[in-house]
Amino acid sequence: MTQLTDQQERTSKELVANTGNFQADAVFRLILRIAAVAVVSMLIWMALVVAGESLPSITKFGLGFLFDTNWDPNSDAFGGLSFVFGTLATAFIAMAFAVPVGLGIAIFLTEDFLPEQVLTPISFMVELLAAIPSVVYGLWGIFVMIPVLRPLEQGLSGGSSSGYSLFTAGVLLSIMVLPTVASISRDVLKSIPRSLRNASLALGATRWETIFRVMLPAGTSGIVGACVLALGRALGETMAVTMVIGNTAQIPNSPFAPGYTIAALLANEFGEASGGLHVSSLFFAGLLLFAVTLLINVLAEIFVRRVSLERQ
């Protein structure tokens, strides 16, 4: 023990001398703890308020709310099925377009197809899509996208479509969530060690085999994370969707017919809702949106864990 080096002795002395820093540490830890608790309790508080406000509707309609499409404030009859359906359907359409395209962009931007000077502006522009306010997307949807999509939708639906539809809303959403998918996936692919790719190429794999067999599987958890974030935005997007979806409470028989989402319903009816049951049913619909988002996040988490377990 006499072998205690100078170095060690000095360190321990410094530690004793710097007790002030220990206090700073404790304060810092406390601040962090408060911040963490604040975030969590905010979420719980919101959930409790929404659940509390929807109580009259829950007791009146119960689970039947989930299986009823009738929404008639005049006769105090409320059912949320058409809104849940519309929310899931538009988000599904959005993801069906955004994931392949976004992933394609991410692969394109991380492979050396083009020189860096060209790639940087492209990735910057993709990210810029995220900076456009959603009301601008909505206006663009009404004045540009619908006139373009209308002939297509009318052709596919036998002439009955007005252009305001689940499909239109889904396509608009896919553009809105594209930067989320593309830029996070790009970062994920970029962060995969070069040695992995080089090893694959050294074993004789082609570029495509490397991308699909090595790069994408290695980035799965990050890419799924990107998709979940994008899905969250697609589920909750309000303004742009309500401007192009047609706001009709029904389960349409075609994707080219108007529908309604939970977020759009809340935006449209909350301000003028009078009568306790109407307001309460709107809260109930909000609670469902909460539940749907939570469920999807949990499923994604389980999926990511399973994939990384398999890898190990």
* Site residues for another protein per CB under 8 A: 70-75, 139, 142-143, 146-147, 160, 162-164, 242-243, 246-249, 258, 260, 264, 267-269, 271-275, 278
To another protein, the closest distance from the beta carbon of 273 in angstroms equals: 6
In the complex, the smallest distance separating the C-beta of residue 301 from another protein, rounded to whole angstroms, is: 35
Taking the CA atoms of 160, 165, 170 and 175 in sequence, report the sign of the dihedral they define.
positive
Helix (H) or strand (E) holding 272, with range, is none
- Look up residue 162 and give its DSSP letter: -
Q: How far is the CB of 164 from another protein (least distance, A)?
A: 5
Beta carbon nearer to another protein, 181 or 257: 257
- 134 or 180: whose CB is closer to another protein? 134
Provide the token pair at 27: 């304060």
Nearer to another protein, 47 or 273 (CB): 273
Is the CB of 102 or the CB of 258 nearer to another protein?
258
Buried-state track 83-96, b at ≥16 Cβ within 10 A, e below 16:
bbbbbbbbbebbbe
Residue reference for tokens 């909350």: 270
Smallest gap from Cβ 56 to another protein, in A, equals: 15
User: Nearer to another protein by C-beta: 79 or 179?
Assistant: 79
Q: SS3 of 253, please? A: coil
Collapse the DSSP code of 112 into the 3-class scheme (helix H, G, I; strand E, B; otherwise coil) and give the result. Answer: coil
**Residue whose structure tokens are 């002395």:** 13
Question: Which residues, in sequence order, are CB contacts of 184 under 8 Å at separation 6+?
Answer: 222, 223, 225, 226, 229
Minimum CB separation of residue 79 from another protein in Å reads 11
